[in-house]
Structure 1
């Protein structure tokens, strides 16, 4: 695997990947971090793969434009939290303070992102633990433990021994979306699959779930643009 650039304004970084399994050239743009990966058959000349990427330049730039740029969180950043857009401001004292339209983070400016990220992880843990307690009681099945991670491929998971895992970035979603993900993973305590019985269980403990599920598919990836 190697890196190069697709010429233009601005140049586009390309990750070149050779694969013994690939039978043709393919392009993939990650909606999570904007990385453009060009995969080619093992014995194909690199210039042919780059020519293919050049021919797809309008398509690549269109998708990158739709994704938007990454956001480095600091003073002045507008950040989604609980379905609201709050502005990060300089705080006083020792604690992060959550207001109606802003979130005040104390300390040096260069530490604001890291400090706010740590705060959001704790808030997410408390909020998800409360939701899981509620849904587990409705389901009649206890869970073993909850962990928080910054996952890219999934918003939550449930293991066969009852361990629940969630992305802490769920605290940035509207409340009903966080609740839906909590109910979804708790429902796996009874059904370790996505059968009709599983979805019936989700609806029984949560209610109609089509809207929050759609929100995650259409809006969720954008939350990974925020860099703490």
Structure 2
């Protein structure tokens, strides 16, 4: 196992045989013992530290090699998306087609047609177009649910979270994982209901869950889906060898 650093000498990852894993150092006030954990996708190793020197952090990671290897063995293979494959968008199946042309994404029946000028760039363009689709969905549903609760978000964002599905800031900014576009529509709607409810209750108390249930009566079903199957959304990757 080898630790990898950037040009500034800061630890950024580790190489374990042929597997590369990002390393993220998280400083926490009051932490006396170092700890390790993988993110849901198991592509990032998070190290929680207090007032600890970088040399001690590196020693701790080396001493934890056996634990890291056991975690890597649990890695599931990535789910590759490439032309000709069926992709579920909010639960609806579409076959991905890629063609040359101006950038854009259209849905025709059971076809999802991506136009882009170069086959080498289709992965980046596809991700950008799917993020736009995700934003439209979350924007519409967030404001719809907010009206039902007599409130309004200040802003809607889509992000590539590594360990959460959404967030609500104290100034009313709602952020969602764009990867929820690959989940069933009802699951994404539940996440919207969850975050919008935080506009009224910034906690997870009984009143908060009453609001969630008002917006999404069967939220427990969709919450359970995320706990059981949500990690698969982080495994979705693009086939970087794909072409027209």
Taking structure 1 as the reference length, what is the TM-score of the superposition? 0.76
1:148 matched to 2:192? The reply is no
Pick from 37, 40, 56 the counterpart of residue 31 of structure 1: 40
Contact 2:42 2:72 in 1 (8 A): no
**Number of residues of Structure 1 aligned to a counterpart in Structure 2:** 221
Conservation of the 8 A alpha-carbon contact between 1:91 and 1:97: no
Q: Partner residue of 2:192?
A: 182
TM-aligned CA deviation for residue 90 of structure 1: 1.9
Query: Which one is further off, 147-156 or 201-210?
Result: 147-156
Partner of residue 89, structure 2? 81
Q: RMSD value over aligned CA atoms?
A: 3.5
Cα deviation, residue 83, structure 1: 1.6
1:63 and 2:74 are equivalent in the alignment: yes
Taking the aligned partners of 1:199 and 1:177, their CA distance within structure 2 comes to 16
Cα shift at 1:113: 1.3
* C-alpha distance in 1 between matches for 2:131 and 2:152: 23
Equivalent residue, structure 2, for 1:121: 131
Deviations 1:15-43 (A, max 9, x none): 698x9x6757x653333252457899977
Given candidates 213, 218, 221, the residue that maps to 2:223 is 213
State the 1:171 CA deviation: 1.8
5+ residue gaps, structure 2: 1-10, 239-244
Change (3 A) 1:186 1:3: closer
Higher strand share: 2
* Counterpart mapping for 1:162-201 below 5 A: 162-201=172-211
> How far, CA to CA, are the matches of 1:11 and 1:159 in structure 2?
36
Q: Which moved more, 1:195-204 or 1:102-111?
A: 102-111
CA 33–216 in structure 1, closer or farther in 2 if over 3 Å, else same: same
For residues 187 and 48 of structure 1, the distance between their equivalents in structure 2, rounded to whole angstroms, comes to 41
The normalised TM-score by structure 2 is 0.72
Secondary structure of residue in 2 paired with 1:90: strand
Maintained 8 Å contact 2:145/2:215 = yes
Q: Which runs of 5+ in 1 are unaligned?
A: none
**Partner secondary structure for residue 87 of structure 1:** strand
Give runs of ≥4 in structure 1 deviating > 4 Å: 2-7, 10-17, 21-24, 36-44, 46-52, 55-58
Counterparts of 2:192 and 2:48, CA distance in 1: 36
User: Whole-Å Cα distance in 2 between the matches of residues 61 and 122 of structure 1?
Assistant: 33
CA contact (8 A) 1:75 1:112 kept: no
SS in 1 for 2:95: strand
